[in-house]
């Protein structure tokens, strides 16, 4: 099994920045992808960042150039953490953000969700 804990988020003004983190523990050797999704009020869930163990990080057009996703070195830390640095925030970035992990042995796992609100 894989367990996820999200942290960060909160309230920011337009043009500001926030950081989200997602730490995976448990059977992390089975993880082949860690992604970020968001669900804005009244909208469908959107994949905004896709991180695979063997490929490049890809960003949705809606966040490209503003959001940066990084991951730690599993061999050094012993756990999987991805951090989403969100810059130049816009009101339309307001959403609940979810960390998603895909495991080769146990399928999809989801974080608890973190509220991000961008408002002046």
Tell me the pLDDT band of 119, cut-offs 50, 70 and 90: very high
Residue 40 is predicted with a pLDDT of 96
Question: How far apart, in whole angstroms, are the C-alpha atoms of residue 48 and residue 75?
Answer: 26
Calculate the CA dihedral of residues 87, 90, 91, 95 and round it to 10 degrees. Answer: -50
Give the pLDDT confidence of 28-40 residue by residue, as tens digits: 888 888 899 999 9
> What is the arithmetic mean of pLDDT over 74-94?
85
Backbone angles phi, psi at 90, to 5 degrees: -120, 155
Strands 67-71 and 58-59: unpaired
Question: How far apart, in whole angstroms, are the C-alpha atoms of residue 63 and residue 120?
Answer: 20
Maximum Cα interatomic distance, the chain, rounded to a whole number of Å: 44
Give the pLDDT confidence of 53-65 residue by residue, as tens digits: 777 899 999 999 9
Tell me the pLDDT band of 73, cut-offs 50, 70 and 90: low
The three-state secondary structure class of 91 is helix
Neighbours of 25 (CB within 10 A): 14
Question: How far apart, in whole angstroms, are the C-alpha atoms of residue 23 and residue 34?
Answer: 10
């Amino acid at each position: 099994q894989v367990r996820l804990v999200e942290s960060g988020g909160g309230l920011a003004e337009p043009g500001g920045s926030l950081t989200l983190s997602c730490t995976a523990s448990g059977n992390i050797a089975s993880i082949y992808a860690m992604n970020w999704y968001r669900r804005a009020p009244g909208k469908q869930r959107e994949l905004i960042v896709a991180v695979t163990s063997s490929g490049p990080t890809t960003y949705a057009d809606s966040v490209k150039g503003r959001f940066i996703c990084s991951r730690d070195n599993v061999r050094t830390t012993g756990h999987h953490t991805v951090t989403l640095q969100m810059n130049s925030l816009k009101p339309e970035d307001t959403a609940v953000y979810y960390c998603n992990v895909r495991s080769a042995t146990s399928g999809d796992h989801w974080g608890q969700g973190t509220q991000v609100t961008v408002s002046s």
